[in-house]
A and B are shown apart, each in its own frame.
Chain A
Amino acid sequence: MTRWGMVVDVDRCTGCDACVVACQEENNVQIVGESEAANGRAMHWLRIERYVEGEFPDARVTFRPVLCQHCGEAPCEPVCPVYATYHTPDGLNAMVYARCVGTRYCANNCPYTVRTFNWFDPEWPAPLDRQLNPDVSPRVSGVMEKCTFCVQRIQGAERAADAAGREVADGDIRPACAAACPAQVFTFGDLEDPESRVSRLAKSPRAHHLLGDLGTQPGVIYLEGADWGGNAGDGEAGDETEPATTEPSTTEPAAPATAAAGETSP
């Protein structure tokens, strides 16, 4: 079995928003415009949460990219009366736009507030209307949507692997955000495969789930809590920073610098 998952290394994030833009373009996400965004209707499947700790000049800014967590026990799924959102066998929390009637119940029950709603029909100002992704269906007014882990890329990689007569290899699939990130914050792969990069990273002592105490079993794992000497990740014992490193089992049980309260290790 496969369970697609993602590791987000918060310590590496520079808050450049390249992932947000890449996601928007890849997935034909509606551009709502200034006034609608001011109404709280900006549509990003991925957002960068910015937190400032301390007072200037001793301030420290941290960024946390938040996207759909693809929960194993997703609260959003059972509340939908029409099966518009459900769990795929490979661990994706899927949205079927054609079924959605727009109750917005799933959005309420998402503790991560990552679901976005099409309040109006989409319009793309020229020339953006010419760069729509043909692999992704646009959504109409009244339909809920959210991060799909770039399911079109997953399927594309599976088709390519099928055609080549092999299995999908670790690293074949790169969602748009991962591809666009200059700091390599995002790592995507199969959490069921113990050898995959994402699995090895998930064993890091820095790893935790967002709001893990809710028991939603997210498929997104955050790495957070490196020593803030400015060398994120490097000083962490056993932390995976290079794809080539293959010794996660030697990880010392060094006391992880736990992140915010209410977050637990997976």
Chain B
Amino acid sequence: MSDATGPQRVRVVLPDEESLRGAIELLERASLRARVVEVRSSVPLSEDLAELAPTRRSRAPSWGIAGGIAGGVAGWLLALFTAKAYPIVTGHMPIVAAPTSGIVIYEGIALGAVLATTFCVLREGGLLRRRRRETQPHDEERPPTGAIAVTFEADGVLASRVAAFFAEGGWRKDTT
């Protein structure tokens, strides 16, 4: 809170959902309209609380479909090129047998969809950045199980009032 004019962030840790709801209502009553920029919890929150902070809709379904298509094409190419690369007759079957290629394509679709979905979840959650994993400042300040860490953002004066509000209430606070 060195600079009292720019936007400030206030991070508080609340023991459970009930306290969070209570705190937000009290803030509301006190007309302290700070913006919630991040909510962290070790178990998923009720939907109303999960919506406190802005989140983007997950693209996992689209990624899954795209991955499935890519995987299916990859499976088809695999079946096609492995047969074409060594085009010999076995058991009087066609070199590229449609039903057997279909099986490889089917598995390719499933594998592609699973891989793409996983990639999407990790990417959207910011879990692919190996470096940052070690250096994130709040790594040391994770909320204990069941508790919820909320980060408010507000202009300097408001931010200090929010911080003071939480200090008075005896809640843990943490400003950045």
Contacts and interface: CB of A to CB of B under 8 A. Distances in A.
Q: Does A touch B (CB under 8 Å) in the complex?
A: yes
Interface of A: 72-80, 83, 85-87, 217
For chain B, what secondary structure do more than half of its interface residues adopt (helix, strand, loop), or is it mixed?
A: loop
A86 B89 CA distance: 6
Contact of B92 (A80, A83, A85, A87): A87
Question: What size tier do the contact residues of chain B reach?
Answer: under 10
Contacts of B86: 83
6 contacts: A78-B90, A78-B91, A79-B91, A83-B90, A85-B90, A87-B92
Contacts of A80: 90
Contacts of A77: 89-91
Contacts of A78: 90-91, 93
B88 A73 contact: no
**Ranked 4 nearest A-B pairs via Cβ:** A77-B90, A78-B91, A73-B92, A77-B91
Contact of A75 (B88, B89, B91): B91
B91 A74 contact: yes
Nearest to B89: A87
Contacts of B91: 73-79, 87
Interface string B75-91: 00000000000101111
Contacts of B90: 74, 77-78, 80, 83, 85-87
Nearest to B82: A83
A143 to B, nearest CB: 18
A103 to B, nearest CB: 14
Most buried by A among B86, B89, B93: B89
Nearest to B86: A83
Contacts of A79: 91
Contacts of B92: 72-74, 87, 217
Most buried by B among A75, A77, A85, A217: A77
Contacts of B88: 83, 86-87
Interface string B42-67: 00000000000000000000000000
A83 B93 CA distance: 13
A201 to B, nearest CB: 24
Nearest to A89: B89
A73 B94 CA distance: 12
B150 to A, nearest CB: 57
Contacts of A73: 91-92
Interface string B118-137: 00000000000000000000
A208 B91 CA distance: 21
A166 B132 CA distance: 78
A80 B91 CA distance: 10
A74 B88 CA distance: 13
Interface in B93-145: 93
